[in-house]
Amino acid sequence: VDPVVVAVDGPAAAGKGTLARRLARELGLPYLDTGLLYRAVARRVLLAGGLPTDPGAAEAAARGLDLADLDRPDLRGAEVDQGASQVAAQPAVRAALLDFQRDFAARKGGVMDGRDIGTVVCPDARVKLFVTASPEARARRRWLERAGRGEVVVLEEVAAEMALRDARDAARDVAPMRPAEDALLLDTTEMDAEAAFREAWTLVQARL
């Protein structure tokens, strides 16, 4: 039998990461945060003094990506957020990262968190969740996360940056963020992490 793949897609700060990590632990599956791949590409471009919107620089960074790049401490800043979504809009970058993601899923299965897992990377995933929350709830979560790290952040700025990134991710021509036709929608606006997990667990169990 094919290894079990659970796709967890959705916009920024909807609670995908926390949920996907816990699902992976409970199901005994590997976890892959695919956003880290795009973040690492953007970080490489920025460190080399390039622009994430430059296709040549972005493709070279994607082809030269190394697994150690996924463990860097500086992948969660505001500049990398935008840069990741800029490199992610480029077909050559997505093509360069596709095999790694598919190989990961094919080896032992996994819970994969991203934007296009259910639609493009693993269209045959056993379970597809599309996790959302209101823009206000998501901005507040991201703001709390950043403030908790000691960053000086303004809620309105976090909200504006997130709206820009989500719009770019949803509007791009290649692998835009959208729920797969057979995705199960999970709106976590009124849920804490525990409630979101319980809801997701029920949905996942029904499909396994």
Kindly indicate which of the ranges 19-27, 80-88, 145-153, 178-186 contains the residues binding ligand C5P, using the contact rule CB under 6 A: 80-88
Any known ligand binding at 12?
yes
Q: In the complex with ligand C5P, which residue's Cβ is closer, 22 or 165?
A: 165
C-alpha closest to that of 70 among 59, 57, 84, 60: 84
Of residues 14, 88, 139, 162, which one binds ligand C5P by CB under 6 A? 88
**Paired strand residues for 158:** none
Question: In 3-state terms, what secondary structure has residue 49?
Answer: coil
C-alpha closest to that of 76 among 142, 163, 170: 142
Q: Dig out the tokens for 166 from the structure.
A: 């989500």
C-alpha closest to that of 2 among 90, 84, 110: 110
- Using CB under 6 A as the criterion, what x/- string covers residues 149-168 for binding ligand C5P? ----------------x---
Q: In the complex with ligand C5P, which residue's Cβ is closer, 44 or 165?
A: 165
83 binding ligand C5P? (CB under 6 A)? no
Q: How far is the CB of 33 from ligand C5P (least distance, A)?
A: 7
* AA letter at 163: A
**How far from chain centre, in Å, is Cα 154?**
23
Angle at 37 between CA 30 and CA 177, to 5 degrees: 90
Of residues 4, 7, 38, 196, which one binds ligand C5P by CB under 6 A? 38
Give CA–CA dist 112/24, Å, rounded.
9
200 binding ligand C5P? (CB under 6 A)? no
41 binding ligand C5P? (CB under 6 A)? no
Q: Which of residues 114-133 bind ligand C5P (CB under 6 A)?
A: 114-117
Any known ligand binding at 15?
yes
Give CA–CA dist 18/40, Å, rounded.
20
Any known ligand binding at 11?
yes
Binding residues for ATP: 10-18
Write out the residues near ligand C5P by the rule CB under 6 A. Answer: 12, 34-35, 38-39, 84-85, 88, 114-117, 165, 169
Binding residues: 10-18
